[in-house]
Amino acid sequence: MRISDRYIGRHVLTGTLFAIVLLSLLLVLGNVFKQIRPLLVEFGAPIWVLGEFTLSVLPVSLIFTIPWAFLSAVLLVFGRLSSDNELNAFRAAGVSLARLSAPVIAIGTALSLFCLWLNLGVAPKASKEVEDIVRSTLIRDPRTLLRAGVDQSRFKNIRVYSENDNGEVFENFHIFKMGSQDGGEDTAYIHAHTATTVNDSEKQEIRLKFTEAYVEGTPARKSDEESQSTPQEFVLLSDELEWMLLNYSRDFSKDKVKPKTLTNPELDAIADNFKPLPLGPKATKAELKLQKARKKIRERYLAEKTRRYTSSFACLAFAFIGIPLGMKARRRDTSTGLIISLGIGALYFLASSMIEPSEGMAYLLWIPNILCVALGFFFFRRARFR
């Protein structure tokens, strides 16, 4: 190993590690404020949930921070080498630009393999743990979803407000139930002096028992004849009333599986379950609609599998484009390299997320990587003949 390899490699690794710590801190804090803050502040979750969540979300954030940090380090190191004329000194000593780039390519390859290991094995399990932490914290006592003093809108088409509560009984309770536009659901407003909650964990429902209740609303239309007539409003007064169930299984059910929480074999298994059905020449519209929905679900899971490979090799792609762009940033300050790295990284991950390939065209997800390598070769060739 040459002195130049150790010199450049040490600076790139040092800059990468520093940037990983900084970027990971920002991403983890962003996730904490987005998901954990409501749990701690609104639902009174124990503080240890914060540490558990941070450890689980860290591997997921590394998938993005490692490529971004590596690109920033390469731009800053080669920008400094260029501004201090160290590159000219190396070239005068007979060391070509290609040879100077060897340690960067080697580090980029090693980081890409590490990201591949994270994407295929660690990140899916970590993503599942993050979902489980949020779900288990909320289901620990779902009645916190009705916490007094806060305008709650976490249930579908329902808004809830109350002034005081002791955990089970809510005082001065208001609930607004908004129906659908076609009139297929009840529309109602309820005010009660107190509302006692009973949690049914098996059915994942909260039962409400009202005292001194006032109810007004419009019943759902059940037939075409009713839809053409004027809706009949109703008003109900009752000293005691058990009238409504709040179902929270839709938001916190374990059956809602996200592709990012699944391993590759699990993605393949789900994709196989949604293979196209054999349809005859006289397929109905309903069958065609079902076929289209199955195809869309299958494409979603297959795309997630391919996207893990493409994002893993972002470090290697950034190595090719980062070296020549760093040589062009000759300023001594670090702002140029940071701005370029932020721009390239944002464009890369934005393009990767926007590409939604159809079945059999998953190779389109490699386009950002290919563009980075192609532009890198183009700029590198121009830099060699300066």
Q: Encode pLDDT of 68-119 as tens digits.
A: 899 888 888 888 887 788 887 887 888 888 888 889 999 999 999 999 999 9
Q: Residue 333: its pLDDT value, please?
A: 47
User: Which of 244-248, 292-296, 338-342, 354-358 is modeled with the greatest confidence?
Assistant: 292-296
Output the pLDDT for position 106: 93
CA 78 to chain CA centroid, nearest Å? 33
- What string of DSSP letters covers 208-252? EEEEEEEEEEEPPP-SHHHHHSPP--EEEEEEEEEEEEEE-HHHH
Residue 1 confidence (pLDDT) above 80: no
Cα-based distances in Å from 76 to 29, 70, 72, 121, 331? 25, 10, 6, 32, 10
Q: Model confidence at 253, in pLDDT bands (50, 70, 90)?
A: very low
**Mean pLDDT lowest for which of 257-266, 330-339, 366-375?**
330-339
pLDDT digits (tens, 9 = 90+) for 28-79: 888 777 766 666 665 566 677 777 778 888 888 899 899 989 988 888 888 8
Structure tokens at 176: 């607004």
121: pLDDT strictly greater than 50? yes
pLDDT at 176: 83
pLDDT at 338: 64
In the structure, what pLDDT confidence band is assigned to residue 139 with cuts at 50, 70 and 90?
A: low
pLDDT, greater one: 210 or 283: 210
Q: How confident is the model at residue 153 (pLDDT cuts 50, 70, 90)?
A: low
Find the mean pLDDT for residues 153-173: 77
Tokens of 29: 């804090």
Measured CA to CA in angstroms, residue 373 lies from 191, 316, 317, 380 at distances of 64, 8, 5, 10
Q: Where are the domains of the chain?
A: 3-140+296-384, 146-250
Mean of pLDDT values over 355-371: 80
Residues 6+ apart with CB under 8 A from 85: none
Task: For the chain, state the CA radius of gyration.
Answer: 29
- For residue 160, CA distances in Å to 166, 173, 236, 264 come to 16, 8, 19, 41
- Other CB atoms within a 10 A radius of the CB of residue 87 amount to 20
Higher pLDDT, 102 or 343: 102
pLDDT reading at 292 higher than 80: yes
pLDDT tier, 332 (very low <50, low <70, confident <90, very high otherwise): very low
| The pLDDT of residue 66 | 93
Where does the pLDDT of residue 136 fall: very low under 50, low under 70, confident under 90, or very high at 90 and above? Answer: low
Average pLDDT in the chain: 78
Q: What is the mean pLDDT of residues 336-347?
A: 72
